[in-house]
Amino acid sequence: MSTAKTSKDVMALMEKEKVEVVDFRFMDFPGMWQHFSIPATAFEEDMFSEGLGFDGSSIRGWQAINESDMLVKPVPETAFIDPFTQHKTIVLTCNICDPITGEDYTRDPRNIARKAENYIKSVGVADSVFVGPEAEFFIFDDVRFDQNEHAGYYFLDSSEGRWNTGRDEGPNLGYKPRYKEGYFPVAPTDSLQDIRSEMVLVMQAIGIPVEAHHHEVATGGQCEIDMRFAPMVSMADNMLKYKYIVKNTARKHGKTVTFMPKPLWNDNGSGMHVHMSFWKDGKNLFYGDGYAGLSETALYAIGGLLKHAPAVLAFTNPTTNSYKRLVPGFEAPVNLAYSRRNRSAAVRIPMYSNSEKAKRFEFRCPDPSCNPYLAFSAMMMAAIDGIQNKINPGEPLDKDIYDLPPQEAAKVAKTPGTLRGALEELERDHDFLLKGDVFTPDVIETWIDYKLTNEVQALDLRPHPWEFALYYDI
């Protein structure tokens, strides 16, 4: 576990651990962790302040080829020893800077989250934003997929998938979770306890506090590991480490992990419920004597989040696959309402504890395909807008939303049904994100254009296997 706070701490850690390789990591625009490495003998302390050059034109959504040179500046407090490399490697998360002006790069997702944290302090709303994501994922044994001009398919398999109850496994022992009944059974039905425990122990070894882990609702290896809440930028950093550890631990055991929101049809998808609270002078601003123990500030924050949720989803649910999960049923929070216990509402107020320390709201729409720096920042900016403009969230919806009479249900706003719909909402409603120069117009425009061109339109052009089942013989 690294306790490095300064560049000198990192240099001392490298000497103590006999580090051989230094790995520089940063987040690309859509949300994939990138890296390059240098020998430890080539690493110098002044790289923390002066940075190290690389080609930004090869990173998705970044610089044009004629403006390709960029700098990575490592952040000392992010240092950790990589638990998976053969040669002793220290990992440093980096900020991205322009080599000519020295300014932080506007399309660097980590820079956007840093600006968001600074903005909430500068306007006096709060001095800390705490975030706690609950990311779900599937652990599969095999994945195959292809798409070309004349064929397209995917194939997934899991030894605990319900679809394998009749497979000859020599012998088949039969302990496979039923569809939608994978939540909390003990071993042998839960076959992934030891792998999840190993993931948790690796996380703790590099300094990520973990609160719980368990099997999730779906068959076929759906799991969840919950990290302890942390300040927003630190939690986004931890989210990248989380995915790295989960994927590489699974690979070590000959398995594969996906954070796709909906890899399996007709069973629960993977969400990432995000808990959030604002603090100032050591006090939780969301704690009060209103509905569900919330303060007026918290209710205004919820009002802002619900108002801007259709646009926020362009960042918190940023894939075409995200909207295969956000459909009625399957516990999906498609209703833009809030409630203290209703899990079908987009915003829930957990009631496990009514203490000041624990009071927060939970945004249930996000999924783990998101870029956490952008997702958390967009949520925070929507909540700030609600506080600044005293946006009333309306009455809570504590009934079963799916049992409401049609006339009453029609009054409840819904999440967009597609990524295209969310991007259109973002294009219409993004002024709240531009405050404090947190998200710039260039970032918004580039995000919408990248997603439409590379994902939405790319998918629209390709036939779907189910279309052959529906239409081949017409």
Residue numbers annotated as active site:
55, 134, 136, 216, 224, 273, 343, 362, 364
Burial of 394 from C-beta contacts in 10 A (0-12 / 13-18 / 19+): middle
Phi, psi of 106 (to 5 degrees): -65, -25
DSSP string, 99-126: TTT-PBPTT-HHHHHHHHHHHHHHTTS-
Q: Calculate the alpha carbon distances from 31 to 177, 317, 373, 400 in Å.
A: 32, 12, 9, 35
Query: How would you label 334-359 residue by residue, b for 16+ Cβ within 10 Å and e otherwise?
Result: bbbbbbbebebbbbbbbeeeeeeebb
Residue with tokens 């398995």: 255
Distance CA 7, CA 392 (A): 46
List 128's β-bridge partners, or say none. 279
Please give the single-letter amino acid code of residue 87. H
Residue 236 tokens, joined: 């986004």
Q: Calculate the alpha carbon distances from 464 to 46, 148, 251, 357 in Å.
A: 53, 12, 30, 48
Residue with tokens 């569900």: 292
Residue 17: CB atoms within 10 A of its CB come to: 14
Determine contact, residues 17/83, Cβ cutoff 8 Å.
Answer: no
The three-state secondary structure class of 347 is strand
| Cis status of the peptide bond prior to 133, with omega within 30 of 0 | no
Phi, psi of 74 (to 5 degrees): -65, 145
Distance CA 205, CA 197 (A): 12
Q: For the CA atoms of 447, 448, 452, 455, what is the dihedral angle to 10 degrees?
A: 30
DSSP conformation class of 67: G
Determine contact, residues 143/161, Cβ cutoff 8 Å.
Answer: no
Residue with tokens 């989803």: 313
